[in-house]
Structure 1
Amino acid sequence: MRHLKNYPGQGLYIYYMVLLDLTNGVFGSSSQLIRELDDKSLNKQLLHNRLKRSWVWNQFFVLEEYTGTDPLYVGKLHSDMDEGDGSIKYILTGDGAGTMFTIDDTTGDIHAIQRLDREERAQYTLRAQALDRRTNRPMEPESEFIIKIQDINDNEPKFLDGPYTASVPEMSPVGTSIIQVSAADADDPTYGSSARVVYSILQGQPYFSVDSKTGIIRTALTNMDREAREYYEVIIQAKDMGGQLGGLAGTTTVNITLSDVNDNPPRFPQKHYQMNVLESSPVNSTVGRVLAMDLDEGENAEMKYTILDGDGSDMFDVSTDPTYQVGVITVKKPLDFESKKSYTLKIEGSNPHIEVRFFNLGPFRDTTTVHISVEDVDEPPVFESSHYFVEVSENVDIGTTIQIVSARDPDATNNSIRYSIDRNSDPGRYFYVDITTGALMTARPLDREEVSWHNITILAMEMNNPAQVGSVPVTIRILDVNDNAPVFTKFFETFMCENAKTGQLIQTVSAVDQDDPPEGQHIYYSLAPEAANNPNFTLRDNQDNTAWILARKSGFKQSEQSMFYIPILIADNGQPMLSSTGTLTIQVCSCDEDGDIMSCSAEPYTLPISLSRGALIAILACIFVLLVLILLILSMRRQRKQPYTIDEEDNVHENIVRYDDEGGGEEDTEAFDIATLWSSREAHVGKSRQDMQPEIESLSRYVPQTCAMDNNVHSYMLAKLYEADTDVCAPPFDSLQTYMFEGEGSVAQSLSSLQSFSTDSEQSYDYLNDWGPRFKKLAEMYGAKDNNASL
């Protein structure tokens, strides 16, 4: 230790304790500092105060982290006026004075009384003053100085951003930069090597390396394969003091993931697939799935499936499921087992994203073969046309064939077909279809004015499998014929004044025709023949479907005739022309001068002879006597009349029960009461017969009682059935039954053998062909010689 009292200056001298232990400090070694102070030129400069000093005279230096028990000596303050007799008092003020630092007021020695930490505070600024101890007067001006905390290596490097996460593409070349790590040291970087950090790798070799100065981590091996190993944990160390022995160190973890690149081609695990599909599968339905495996991931594992070749390329399609990267094979066109039973597809799976640097690994695609077998299903009958449109006149006869529909079984078995009408589509039962031929016929009279369009559905059912039913819509347009005469639109009644003039318009009449002729409606008006020479009124046809009734004369008198009835002939322009007669009622009224009606009733009739009160009483008495006599006669007749009663023993009715038809169950117990034949008064026209309900039903009530017989047996039978249904006076003859329509409600169900099919039986199930003898017998019952006779 050496005092600096050999270098006096103005004011206080500051003594500095040179630490012999310090190396690489601000001033270097203690010997170097002494040499600088002993230098004559420097001494000369200090004495003359002309040149800038090479060191700061008003600074103290003290080491941080002092752990001794005694206060740490910092330095000494001394005034050149201090004679050493204790008359000078030293005072210390400023940062940390009294708390961190103390001064001996007699000697001027400064000590640190607290542990100092450079990382918390690097320097303190204080002020010193010398006072006269007796008078407290300043002996010199106040001086300012700085105490700097000198650093020691007491902080290890720290990775403030760790742990780190990074990724690098697989197959990256050696030296590929991955990430840079950085460690911070809280020590003073300007003093020594306490903050000089060196990086090294503790774990992660030989796959990765780290630059010792920059902390950049790089790949150290080639051909690192993600499919072999994907995750790596690398530990990096940072050590201060330039990595020398005794330096402090810190570590961090770097999690490195190998990202995928497309370096693996797809491969089908199977070279042949076998799939089955029903021929009834709808278009776009799924047949099956194929999968090409790819070890890559993400977009590098995305697949694209295409059909390269095969006889099924027109019938099937393949698409890629983006979620599972599988190829979905779907039906492209309707399949038909009877046309082709199997197909073959050659399907390719390829990567749409390929990296150029991996082309040498081979084609990034693979192929497989798919065999698809079409399975047969029992299909419903198919009609030759998807829709039928029929036009028929409304005056067509019952039983007329208006269209023949045809269906076939698309299966190889080609089962026979039976036809019927969906009754929900024809609730009025206007039509009937032949069960075997598909001939669509009228079953009721058609009326365009009632129903102009019919939309029915015809069903085709396989005999061997009734569950297989095909259908076709039939649109029937009813063509108009002139079968309705025009009539007045309303009841025409008008009033006219007695003073009506000749040619005055009395009434405008109009009519309506329910028909719809192609050339449009045109109605003609004229007076009826019996009123053609009417002297009072005349008619003018306006040629616009209206007519005027005009007065032919003037001077009508209500007293002479108060009501006129004018018959008007109304005719249409149809073929043939139809007409009707309407009546116009004209009432004569008395009017005022302005033409306003005053009274339309005739004057009350007054008796020319006045009757006396006695005559009126006599007339009333005669009327009363006559009423009494009438009441007596009615009472006597009621007493003589005996009520018609039938003894319970005599109340026996013959019942005829039908057993010749099938089905119906409890409905077969409907019986015909023979008592209805005892008196024709029991029959009521318009009442439907309850004893007779054939399965061919709902024939029109408008069919005439006598129907013309043509050469069609069905037409004949339909007409006769209609007569039987509407004639309630006829006895309960046998009814025609078809086994296609079984009854409802039978517990025993059907007893018919028609559905008991057997391949080894010689029985004919085309039972309608056996109806010829039945029809002939029925025709003979109705007076015909053969089936083709006409009534």
Structure 2
Amino acid sequence: MKTQKKFKGCKWQVTFLFLFSWLCHSVSGQLHYSIAEELGKDTVIANIVNDLGLDIKEVISRKFSIVSRVSEKYFSVNLENGNLYVKDRIDRERLCRTAPSCFLTFDAVAENPLNIFSVKIEIQDINDNPPVFFPEILTLEVVELTPPGTHLVLQNAEDPDIGINAVQSYRLSDNQYFRLNENINIDGSTILELVLEKHLDRETLNFHELILTASDGGNPVRTGTALIRIIVTDSNDNLPVFTQQVYKVSISESAPINSTVIIVTATDKDEGTNAQITYSISKISENFYTSIFNINPITGEITTKGNFNFEATEHYEMSVQAKDGGGLVAQSKVLIEIIDENDNAPEISIRSLSTPIPEDSAPGTLIALIEVHDQDSGENGEVDCQIIGPSPFQLLSSSSRYYKIVNTGSLDRELVPWYNITILATDRGSPQLSSIKYIKLDISDVNDNPPMFVKSTFVAYLPENNLPGASIYNIHASDPDAGDNAKIIYSISNINTEDFPVSPYFSINIETGVLYAQRSFDYEQHKEFQMKISAKDNGSPTLSSNVTLIIHIIDQNDNLPKILYPSTESGGSPIYEMVPFTSEQGSLITKVIAVDADSGHNSWLSYHFIQMSEPSPFSISQHTGEIRTSRIFQEKDNLKHKVVIMVKDNGDPSLSATVTLSIYVGDHFQKVVPKLNNQFNDGEPSSIMQNIYLVIALALISLLFIITVGLVIISKCKESKPPPEFPTLNTNLYSQFDPRMLSNYNNGTLSLPYSYNVCVALDSSESDFSFLKPNQNVPVENLIDADDSGLGNKSSKETLSAVEVSYSNRGMMK
């Protein structure tokens, strides 16, 4: 049959536990199915996707789901085939008790576009419960004088099933005293009565036992039995009678505990103990209602024992009984209706949430789908919803309970990386109740920012002589993006490709930007490096920026002063200077020239005398290195002076170099040497004797070698044609003199016009053999510089003879 906006569909028959049910549906926004209770798990109810007219290929992408706080426990949807399945055991009696109809409802929700369908599933009763008597043994006391025709009210059997599956008939076991009578109450319920048909005789039989059987109308038929034990007593022939067969009352769900619900009243025409009535909740209702209600056994006042919840139970139905002192019982029903109060705040549920969303999302992008529900009814359950506070989001109503959250403007993760969306739901009850839901929405990054340096040029300073491989600078770029978009890779390159490459000198950690020196630098070779540092992020597309890094090498005091004059590269040969005896105070003798490869303070040089044992007749300029006479020479002064000159730089720590200079005082070379010989012979006697013994021993051992050397010397002297007046060679000087040194020092302060290769003895009277102790103030500087200016005058040339002596001969004499 076709109705407006509703199409009746096919019917499916589902058989379980010998029952079947009919399933009906419509596709106009609401579906209706009918199934039997107690269906097995995973039983197919229907193909809900086809019934709703949806495409099975789109249900997954549209996030098709069923939404219900109750029905989600019992039903599920297979998104691959669209079938609606039974998920859990469905017990109609537990869900709806004795209600004539029982429904489970849920919403079928599909997104993109949003469609909401209401699905109503009727649960049909099956005969899964037998009739049950409470109690199973019923004891009645009947006065033996009770006349025939007396009616004794019995307890009805309870069957949770409804309709034909409920109790349909009663049967009493065969006996000669009682019969069963069934009356219909005004509310349609059955009143069981036991009718006495024959006088009782307590003395003959003081008790009777009867079996009462209740049968339902199911297929197969289920039955329940109760044992009726009748005790014959003396005369209590009146039953208690309630003033009403059914009591109806309404009470607010917010009623406090111990509030009076109603007072039930029953009367008994008997007297004495037979008229004393005791009220109680019948055993049928006791299991459930005694936890919520309490009845005063004397007054019949029913009070609350617990709190009500309209959303859980809207009404209560219980039986109360009045029992007199003789054991006769009367029953009445109490119907209690619960009045709803606005005691439930709206509930906000997030059905769908897209987080994070890209920062370049277009306005109108769906952020979330929320459901707002209030368990109250009427105006108490009507809800208004809004977003609290300024934000680039808007709440749009999709139906009475569903809302969409969309963005209304552009997003920038670098400014606001996340939003805390506050949703306020307020009902229309009195007083109004509200609830707040916070949704944290993260904004995902898009690579829209290049790496940035704080400056366009960085300057670093690196001391020379650094350790190779040590970190020297940390350059840093920042990227406000996140993740790979903010992961920066550093690289270095030359600013000018024509310059020498920087890669052999520096390396950079591509992740941290730490710059490392590949080698140790020398300020004297490289004073400055310029390079380009590139920072590139890992986004797509890649963004980058550059910066210039200038590294200045800082000079360290790592070079000793180098003395250019007097030269220190003569291989250990002594350096001599001749000073005229008549020199005036302040006369320039020579000048020490030195340089330092360092720069700045490290290259400032100063000149000093060291190792001077007595007041010296010489002075040196600290700044220029000029050596001058500090006073006029006297006859008692030594003719030979040894000075050690230290050249020191201004670094920290200071570095220095030294040179030793021998200065001879005299107008002529011939006058200087005899005095020097006298000074040489002033050594300690013991040392001289030891040296003489040593020489004699060496001479005896090497006699043959000495004779050979002597022949060579005589031969050389003959070739040089010495003048006849030349004195005997003094061994004191000969043992210390190296003929080769005369040609090594030809660049002194006073130039020597001739070079000589001679061996000399200056005084024949001192030809006796004497040997100097090696360290007795007669070092190698005692030898006379062949380039000395004293050898340059004419008279000296005539008195000197050249004698060439080999090194081996000198070694034997030492």
The normalised TM-score by structure 1 is 0.39
Question: Which of the two has greater strand per residue?
Answer: 2
